[in-house]
Amino acid sequence: MKYRVLSIVVMFVCFLASGCRRAQYAPPAEDTVSVVELDSIQAEHDISIDAHAWADSIMDCMTVEEMAGQLIMPAVYSDVSSDAMRILKKYATDSHIGGVVLLKGSVEAARCIADTLREWLSVPPFIAIDAEWGLAMRLDGTPEFPHNGRISEAADETLLFDYGFEVARECREIGINMVLGPVLDVLPEGKRKSGIGSRSFGRDVHRASDMGVAYAKGIESGGVLSVAKHFPGHGSADADSHKRLPSVVKSRKELDAKDLLPFKEYVENGLSAIMMGHLYVPALDSVEVPVTVSERVLKEFVRKDMDFHGLIVTDAMNMAGAGGNSAADAIIAGADIVLAPANTEEEVMILTDAVRRGRLSTDQLRDRVGRVLFYKYIVAREKYGDGKIVDTSEAERIIKLLR
């Protein structure tokens, strides 16, 4: 079924000094949410009520397969060749995907993919990208900011906020509404090498936290979702999760004092999403599985202990560190969005079957999908840019100061 979706303008004011927050997800109260048409909503009061109501109305018209698809975001190259677009069309029409993660390619192709998906999909998609040092990490011809670990010691939170805000502006020009960043992993003391390396803000946990959270605030004040990674901290991992499942062998006290601190700051500042790393952390769950599929970590620790109500996102499930676990395993454990599965169509089918067999209840599925739709409503805009990042004067200023 096609849904008539009206683009809306949601204005957010996020002051770094005062710590103002954007609308946050919270379970809807039964007496405040009603089913409404999106084009009848007036965003002049509590926008969270409107977002819940819209999500409710969309889910009421969805099949189980369509809801399952909302939780899956395959990775696609920023490529518009006939073969690439054929695959994208299949993702949209057969698997009802919730969005995509853009890989390497051109700005023009990225914008074309974003526009095309918005035409093909019944529900506005998330268009996500890794932008750990700006869009240049993935897209040619875009401003290249320094890696986090190479940022000047003179850089402060105000500059990092401006940096995030500028990256968000560039994203909106292209049609991107989700940045897979900041990296909140803290490097270990006295260890020369780490799988994260210069992607991290460094060994000083307080600086890493302050810089990362300021960057995320800048992104979100610019109307784009941030996704902090890689929970609960990849800096001390004993391997690269692209190649195998690493371990982070620390006591809970050590985790609280260092690795977890930036994520707790991120949550306390009301920011939107956290990416689970493919990491085995025995202090959080003694069962040797990646936290990506650990119900104990996702439901008990992240949701309850940390009181996080935003989106829980997996790292790419086609990585070796995922251990062959399925999207359904992650969703059942408590994740809301699965990134880059090895086989998108198959994973949507497995997740759909999990609901029909009772491994995941319909209420649990609606909980995940409702949260996804809530944040899609929040990042909705009347217009994106024209696909050209024409004004780089601000980027040039920021790059100079960051170095």
Q: Is the dihedral of CA 283, 289, 295, 297 positive or negative?
A: positive
Q: Which residues have a Cβ under 8 Å from the Cβ of 150 and sit 6 or more positions away?
A: 198, 403
Burial 84-114, CB ≥16 within 10 A → b, else e: bbebbeebbeebbbbbbbbbebbbbbbbbbb
Measured between alpha carbons, how far is 131 from 164 in angstroms, rounded to an integer? 10
Q: Which residue has the higher pLDDT, 116 or 1?
A: 116
Q: What is the pLDDT of residue 167?
A: 97
Measured between alpha carbons, how far is 325 from 217 in angstroms, rounded to an integer? 33
Radius of gyration of the chain (CA): 20
Measured between alpha carbons, how far is 189 from 203 in angstroms, rounded to an integer? 6
Q: What is the pLDDT of residue 8?
A: 30
Tens-place pLDDT, residues 163-199: 999 999 999 999 999 999 999 999 998 765 677 889 9
Tens-place pLDDT, residues 79-114: 999 999 999 999 999 999 999 999 999 999 999 999
Contact 237/247 with Cβ under 8 angstroms? yes
Q: What is the pLDDT of residue 387?
A: 76
Q: Which residue has the higher pLDDT, 284 or 18?
A: 284
Q: How far apart are the first and last CA of the chain?
A: 51
Q: Please, what CATH class does the domain formed by 38-402 belong to?
A: alpha beta
What 3-state class would DSSP assign to 280? Answer: strand
Residue 101 corresponds to which tokens in the numbers above? 């993660």
Q: What is the pLDDT of residue 385?
A: 78
Q: What is the DSSP string of 43-65?
A: TTS-HHHHHHHHHHHHHTT--HH
Contact 290/329 with Cβ under 8 angstroms? no
Residue 178 corresponds to which tokens in the numbers above? 């989700």
Average confidence score pLDDT of the chain: 88
Residue 87 corresponds to which tokens in the numbers above? 């695959």
Contact 354/293 with Cβ under 8 angstroms? no
pLDDT over 90 (residue 4): no
Helix axis angle for 47-59 and 362-378, nearest 10°, is 130
Least confident of 38-42, 76-80, 203-207, 267-271: 38-42
Domain definitions of the chain by residue range: 38-402
Band (pLDDT 50/70/90 cuts) for residue 71 is very high
| DSSP 8-state symbol, 78 | E
Least confident of 2-6, 25-29, 154-158, 318-322: 2-6
Tens-place pLDDT, residues 124-142: 999 999 999 999 999 999 9
Tens-place pLDDT, residues 329-386: 999 999 999 999 999 999 999 999 999 999 999 999 999 999 999 999 999 854 677 7
pTM of the model: 0.89
pLDDT over 60 (residue 12): no
Residue 22 corresponds to which tokens in the numbers above? 């954007």
Report strand pairing: 126-129 vs 139-140: unpaired
